[in-house]
Homo-oligomer: A and B are copies of this chain.
Amino acid sequence: MAYTHRVHYYETDKMAVVHHSNYIRWMEEARVDYLDQIGAGFAAMEARGLQSPVVSVACKYHRPTRFDDRVRIRVSVEKYNSIVLKVAYEMYNETTGELAATASSEHCFVNASGRPISIAKGWPDIDATLKEQVRGKN
């Protein structure tokens, strides 16, 4: 699945390209959209008392993106074991056809009180959905 972000003027910096911190935000936009589409959306998860804090992020910047460029972000589940979710991102600049960035993020799951939990126990349907995604990748 892919999500498209159009670059905003306020995302550029004085080098006239997108500031690198914004790619971390686009990863979140694309991840939110992805989880929504597979039926494990943030809003639904939070309504059921689940939150998924970010444990780590990493991003490699290959080519700059610029104001008004359309960036297509492909999201995939790299790893999932009911406790940790690892998501991978490929960002293509549709305007230039270039690979702009590759990235990954890791997430754990906590309940409303912030305690780490296993999804498999209280939310078996979300657990199954996420497992499906890893399988789907192979």
Chain A residues within CB distance 8 Å of chain B: 8-10, 12-17, 19-22, 24-25, 28-29, 32, 41-43, 51, 53-61, 64, 67-68
Which of B10, B17, B58 is within 8 Å of A28, CB to CB?
Answer: B10
27 A-B residue pairs with Cβ-Cβ distance under 8 Å, sorted by A, are A8-B29, A8-B32, A9-B14, A9-B19, A9-B28, A10-B19, A10-B21, A10-B25, A12-B13, A13-B13, A13-B14, A14-B17, A20-B24, A20-B57, A21-B25, A32-B68, A42-B67, A42-B68, A43-B67, A53-B61, A53-B64, A54-B61, A56-B60, A57-B57, A57-B58, A58-B58, A58-B59
- State the CA gap A19–B11 with chains docked (Å): 9
The residue of chain B having its C-beta at the shortest distance from the C-beta of A36 within the complex is: B68
Q: How far apart are the CA atoms of A13 and B61 in the complex, in Å?
A: 19
Given contacts A12-B14, A21-B28, 17 further A-B contacts (CB under 8 A): A8-B32, A9-B14, A9-B28, A9-B32, A14-B16, A14-B17, A15-B51, A20-B54, A32-B68, A42-B68, A53-B61, A55-B60, A56-B59, A57-B58, A57-B59, A58-B58, A58-B59
